Chains A and B, each alone.
Chain A
């Protein structure tokens, strides 16, 4: 491969800097509608993927991209990963100025070779070739041709001509070449025109084309871009890896491949087996046994990302984790599975596309779109999902990283997609009570008690692991108050499937109430102001998505200094919309102002036409949260 690159580069050098010649892809030939909102215009993209055998494939890419402005300058560069199972056969590159004249060619010295270790890993064996294009003038056009050769890779490319916002595409095509022996599967989504299939020399060529795709603009609270831009998913129809040969058409087949990869990897030394048996000997309830073993995992291991070997898909054996006390998600899940097996509890390796706002997997098209592994433990009453990479996560708590989505449970007796737990409005609750004592110098001393339930637990999850000094430092940054001191902070927690954390805060807030002359102004919402107002748009095009329910309830009592009488106490307010419900009540009695606020957001999908209602709702909430009570000295 190195030689080949060298050969090409020699050729380029021989050609020298003959910069005259054809005009290619000049900027002025881009139609105005393709420039609207675009930082990048894909002039041409041709991707050809040829399946040579069950475990060999070649991908040729030819792309021409015009970078409109400096903001998108990084997209002029090319980064191609490679590893044991994927090699780069060649890279060619050309640079054109806005008039379409060639100004540069990629030389061998321009192609840098580097390791490619993602931020969350200690080590990965992947490397990459980088071509960095430096340019001063925009627009600039870059043209690349390269070829990648894959082996042992059951995941096939996905075609998505617009995978980013502010990118338009003049012309894009994707073909897959296969033969009778080596077929593939595909799924089309949001296409302008369906596939064209051509038979040629015993080969079938499937081609998808798209033209004049205008740039998409990101909108707040919208679904991921994948949902509405043209996409073709592809996957191997069969798989052949060492002695594993199988169809690759159903979720069941995908699960079998994973079962093959974890086969015979649950052996544990006798010593560990004895320890685990001893650990649960006196625990009668199965759920408590699982919990004890999960806690054993948490106190004996930690997450360390190491991706080596077959595309990073095979976990280290359980023995490895037992010996070193660390592993990545696969290895830790496999280890936990092995620990549970010792005491006769069945559990299942489970594939998930994790992330707070991750798109759902295409459930009708089995393919490898997962990025994380968790463990599924079916129990008598319900299913327990275990996140094995965290040393601190409450037992069975999924959090927003893996909640409410389809996951593939790999079960030797039959695998299928299962939906994980969706947290309800009642489960995601933040309740807060506070007494705020305002003295004659308008300083407030506040005792604040907050309860974080369900997903709200994640707001304080990191704080729970910190030392008091760190907690104070962190809270000093995040609490929405000015010039305060934290006298005391303390946490309690209950780690359960629906976890709870209690927070006790003593705050000293000089000048919480502001005074002018003989008037006293007291902001009523102590520390939970909602200020978010979605951006005003001329034309909202996409649905509004609230991924999760949540609800905050505050009850705050302000003790008013002697001698003050109310001049202005805000009216009670109640706002209700499809997005949520808000209420704030304020009353004054016996020298105290009592403020009760409740703010609930409803999970759901709402039409784009409701967008202005949402802005209106948020504005009203923001205004209500800024209310002040005004007192006047008698």
Chain B
């Protein structure tokens, strides 16, 4: 009997794929051990004279190899050469290479070599990276780290490192970043991929390619097949077969790349760093059907729904039958059922801070252990809601820290979070049960990242994650000024939306005592007679803090004048945007609204000598406005100040406006009221 040939089973590569040589004259000489004297003599990098170090070149290459036992393997090679210019660049000479292993599959580092070059008395002195200076740390069961640092690094050193990583994880073709924390003269990546593997590629960032080319070349390989005949005598026959196929070759180079520097109010740096990423779309071996991994969002949907750790979990209704019975018996309306289900999951399963779209434990274990990852918690919620008769579906997304999800680029690996969507009576509700402080139908800020994908076989669609929520805060003060400049004040701070969520989460995390202490620290100029908090423990989406306090320090009282900050120094004092220019967008997460309402009672024998002027400032395109109003009536002064940012995102060209806008706001907050004694 002849076994069926299986390409993946028993065959041997006899001839490896031919290699491609690209002959670009501009490319630096990248031969290990050949370091130019000019690089050693270089004392600064002309394009960025402030650079503490510069990548002279960094070249990566991924090819496929075949191994009798393992089948296909990825082989990744990297060769990097760096010039050290200043002591602050020394850290670049330390490498931590993370390697993953799972079951019998692993990533292994091989052929590691390194060399440092120094110019001593005009001569090049070389130092090798020795084997005993390379450490292999078994981090835990699945993670290994190879660490080393280059020898004899000084100001002026050049070093180079070369290594290969053989990987069994075909779905994880190494990404390549063309941008570093230091500038790079040359960053290059090439991949040679047999036609059996199709990866979807995604380039991002702001740096244009200097070379971006691809090629397709036929290659032929001779395979040795092994056939076994099983009968009374087992007999093995070998024979050769030539297989013709194409290798797809891709080649990218970025030249003179500036250093990547993080900026405040930025989402994941991963969104902006110049990079090329891969996602295994499908494999297709000869005489075999195409095996899809991810190509389309429809494919991803199917893939997820078929997975036992995703869709499979939604078929386990029996796990929650007690809760279903209880809710059905207790709730008076459908709305109440929905919120009872939400509260049940929120209060009975604690999030272990793991971001995953698959369950790691089955839901029964999750219910027993009372902890779970994001997927476990929200799939449990979906299961419960469906059992109660609602239409609940998972929505998968990428969190802010994880980077942007682009609808045009289907990607399974980019997804790291899962929430629940319910449609009821024509209304859409988005629920996340990972945070007990979250009110019903509000998402945590980490989810505010574009759109999420609804995972439903019949009705796949995009769901906007940014809803109507804002940061909303209000300070309301009733102030009495005495003749000697003493101020007594009743201050009410309140907030809703994300402001309330943040404040209440802190309150819960820190406990009342520590929270109160921090609040007092913020108001350290004041003598506080009374503090009270409202709605801090409830999931109502608002809170209130009330302070009764007085102060002799804030007003400056001279013989017949009193000078006083218009917001009693309680307004924001610093512009969050201090840098001159901005390379990447500003992202607040969601819109915000800050209001101050201060009412002053001035001493009877004083008159208002001077008030700050009213102001109204807007950002272009209604992206934000600031409205500052002050009126006086007999011995009362009323200050109303409102700051609204309506857009959550500002591109770098908006930055000067935004910065100036905040400068105006902050300086308005710093203005003075002047009172004068009646003659």
Give A contacts to B, CB under 8 Å.
37, 39, 69-71, 112-115, 117, 122-123, 134-136, 299-300, 302, 304, 306, 323-326, 391-392, 465-470, 472-473, 476-477, 482-483, 485, 510-511, 514, 516-517, 519, 521, 531, 533, 535-536, 567-568, 570, 619, 622-623, 626-628, 630
**Residues from 594 to 627 in B contacting A, C-beta threshold 8 Å:** 610-613
Complex: A136 Cα to B350 Cα, angstroms = 6
Contact between B137 and A477, CB atoms less than 8 A apart: no
B674 close to A (CB within 8 Å)? yes
Contact between B672 and A516 (Cβ–Cβ < 8 Å)?
yes
- The list of the 4 closest CB pairs from A to B, nearest first, reads A467-B50, A325-B152, A483-B663, A123-B135
Residue among A485, A514, A567 with most chain B CB within 10 A: A514
Instruction: Choose one: A115, A299, A465, A622; the contact of B139 (CB below 8 Å).
Output: A115
Distance between Cα atoms of A37 and B514 in the complex (Å): 10
CB pair A623 B580 closer than 8 Å: no
Q: Besides A117-B137, A514-B671, 20 other CB < 8 A contacts?
A: A122-B135, A122-B148, A123-B135, A136-B370, A300-B154, A302-B153, A323-B127, A323-B151, A392-B87, A465-B86, A472-B580, A473-B579, A476-B579, A482-B575, A482-B663, A482-B667, A483-B662, A510-B663, A535-B524, A628-B672
- Chain A residues with CB under 8 A of B573: 482
Minimal Cβ-Cβ distance residue in A for B151: A324
Of chain B, the residue at the smallest CB distance from A304 is: B149
**Closest CB-CB distance, B430 to chain A, in whole Å?**
24
Q: How far is the CA of A306 from the CA of B134 in the complex (A)?
A: 11
Closest chain A residue to B553, Cβ basis? A623
Complex interface: chain A residues within 8 A of B138 (CB): 115
Specify which chain B residues have a CB less than 8 angstroms from the CB of A535 in the assembled complex.
517, 520-521, 524
B155 within 8 A of A: yes
When chains A and B are docked, how far (Å) is the Cα of A412 from the Cα of B365? 63
Complex: A570 Cα to B559 Cα, angstroms = 11
Contact of A114 among B139, B513, B611 (CB under 8 A): B139
Give min CB distance, A565 to chain B, whole Å.
Answer: 14
| A382, chain B: closest CB distance, angstroms | 28
Q: Which residues of A contact B135 (CB under 8 A)?
A: 122-123, 306
Contact A123 B87 (CB under 8 A): no
Q: A122-B94, A134-B371 are in contact. Are A468 and B133 (CB under 8 A)?
A: no
Q: Which of B142-200 contact A (CB under 8 A)?
A: 145, 147-149, 151-155
Tell me, yes or no, whether B88 is within 8 Å of chain A by CB: yes
> Could you tell me which B residues sit within 8 Å of A by CB distance?
49-52, 86-88, 90, 94, 127, 130, 133, 135, 137-141, 145, 147-149, 151-155, 261, 348-350, 352, 369-371, 508-511, 513-514, 517, 520-521, 524-525, 553-554, 556, 558, 561, 563, 573-575, 578-580, 610-613, 659, 662-663, 666-667, 670-672, 674
Instruction: Pick 30 A–B contacts, CB within 8 A, sort by A.
Output: A71-B514, A112-B141, A115-B139, A115-B140, A117-B137, A122-B147, A122-B149, A123-B135, A134-B350, A134-B370, A135-B350, A136-B370, A299-B155, A300-B152, A300-B154, A324-B152, A325-B152, A326-B151, A465-B87, A467-B86, A482-B666, A483-B575, A483-B666, A511-B663, A516-B610, A519-B672, A533-B524, A535-B524, A568-B556, A619-B553
Find out whether the CB atom of B369 lies under 8 angstroms from the CB atom of A304. no
Secondary structure call for the A interface: mixed
**Nearest B residue (CB) for A470:** B50
- Judge whether A521 and B672 touch: CB under 8 Å: yes
> Are A514 and B672 interface neighbours, CB within 8 A?
yes
What residues on B are CB-neighbors of A304 within 8 Å?
94, 149
CA distance A510 to B556 in the complex (A): 24
> A485 vs B151: C-alpha distance in the bound complex, in angstroms?
41
User: Roughly how many angstroms separate A467 CA and B350 CA in the complex, as a whole number?
Assistant: 46
A299 contact set on B, CB distance < 8 A: 154-155
**Residues on the B chain within 8 Å of A517, using CB:** 610
How close is B574's CB to chain A, nearest CB, in angstroms? 6
Residue of A nearest to B135 (CB): A123
Contact B511 A71 (CB under 8 A): yes
Known A302-B90, A304-B94, A466-B88; contact A113-B610, beta-carbon cutoff 8 A: no
Complex Cα distance, B670 from A511, in Å, reads 10
CB–CB B561/A568 < 8 A: yes
Contact A516 B612 (CB under 8 A): yes
Query: What chain B residues lie within 8 Å of A470 (beta carbons)?
Result: 50
B437 to chain A, nearest CB (A): 12
Q: B140: which of A114, A619, A622, A623 is its contact (CB, 8 Å)?
A: A114
State the CA gap A325–B125 with chains docked (Å).
Answer: 13
A123 touches B139 (CB 8 A): no
Q: How far is the CA of A626 from the CA of B670 in the complex (A)?
A: 12
Which chain B residues border A112 with CB–CB below 8 Å? 140-141
Determine the distance from Cα of A483 to Cα of B145 in the docked complex, in whole angstroms: 45
Q: Which of A135, A485, A622 contacts B580 (CB 8 A)?
A: A485
Q: In the complex, what residues of A have CB within 8 A of residue B151's CB? A: 323-326
Instruction: List chain A residues, Cβ under 8 A from B672.
Output: 514, 516, 519, 521, 628
> CB within 8 A of B558: which of A325, A472, A568?
A568
CB–CB A482/B574 < 8 A: yes
Greatest chain B CB density within 10 A among A135, A302, A466 is at A302
Chain B nearest CB from A567 CB (Å) reads 7
**Cα of A536 to Cα of B573 in the assembled complex, Å:** 24
Assembled-state Cα–Cα distance A302/B666 (Å): 44
Q: Which residue of A lies closest to B90 (CB)?
A: A302
Inter-chain contacts of A115 with B (CB < 8 A): 137-140, 145
Contact A516 B90 (CB under 8 A): no
CA–CA, A516 to B608, complex, Å? Answer: 13
CB distance from B500 to the nearest CB of A (A): 19
Q: How far is the CB of B43 from the nearest CB of chain A, in Å?
A: 13
| CA gap between A467 and B54 in the complex, in Å | 14
Residue of B nearest to A510 (CB): B663
Give the complex CA separation of A570 and B558 in angstroms.
9
Residues of chain A contacted by B152 (CB below 8 angstroms): 300, 324-325
Chain A residue with Cβ nearest B261: A473
Tell me, in angstroms, the Cα distance from A302 to B141 when the chains sit together: 32
Whether the pair B674, A519 counts as a contact (CB closer than 8 A) is: yes
Min C-beta distance of A38 to chain B, whole Å:
11
A324 and B579 contact, Cβ closer than 8 Å, known pairs A299-B155, A535-B520, A568-B558: no
Closest chain B residue, CB of each to CB of A112: B140
Q: A134-B371, A465-B87 are in contact. Are A70 and B139 (CB under 8 A)?
A: no
- Of chain B, the residue at the smallest CB distance from A484 is B578
Whether A136 pairs with B348 at a CB distance below 8 angstroms is yes
Which residue on B lies nearest to A486, using beta carbons?
Answer: B580
Contact A514 B667 (CB under 8 A): yes
Cβ contacts under 8 Å, A302 to chain B? 87, 90, 153
Which of B141, B352, B511 sits near A134, CB closer than 8 Å? B352
Instruction: From B50, B147, B667, give the contact of A468 (CB < 8 A).
Output: B50
CA distance in complex: A392, B573 (Å): 35
Residues of A within 8 A of B662 (CB): 483
CB neighbours (8 Å) of B148 from chain A are 122
Partner of A519, one of B349, B509, B579, B610: B610
Q: Nearest CB to that of B521 among chain A residues?
A: A535
Chain B: which residue is nearest A115 at the CB level?
Answer: B137
**Which B residues touch A531, using CB under 8 A?**
524
Q: How far apart sit A299 and B156, CA to CA, in the bound complex (Å)?
A: 11
Whether the Cβ atoms of B667 and A630 lie closer than 8 Å is: no
> Smallest CB-CB separation from B613: which chain A residue?
A516
The answer on a CB contact under 8 Å between B88 and A113 is no
> Which residues of the other chain, A, contact B127 by a CB distance below 8 angstroms?
323-325
User: Smallest Cβ distance from B525 to chain A, in angstroms?
Assistant: 7
Within the assembled complex, what's the spacing in Å between the Cα atoms of A304 and B90?
Answer: 11
A531, B524: Cα distance in complex, Å:
9
Chain A residues near B133 (CB-CB < 8 A): 324
CA distance A350 to B554 in the complex (A): 51
Q: Which residue of B lies closest to A39 (CB)?
A: B511
From B513, B553, B563, B667, contact of A568 by CB (8 A)? B563
Q: How far is the CA of A496 from the CA of B149 in the complex (A)?
A: 31
Partner of B667 from the list A71, A473, A511 (CB cut-off 8 Å) is A511
Q: Are B510 and A71 in contact (CB under 8 A)?
A: yes
**Cβ A123 vs Cβ B52 within 8 A:** no
Closest-CB distance, B40 to chain A (whole angstroms)? 16
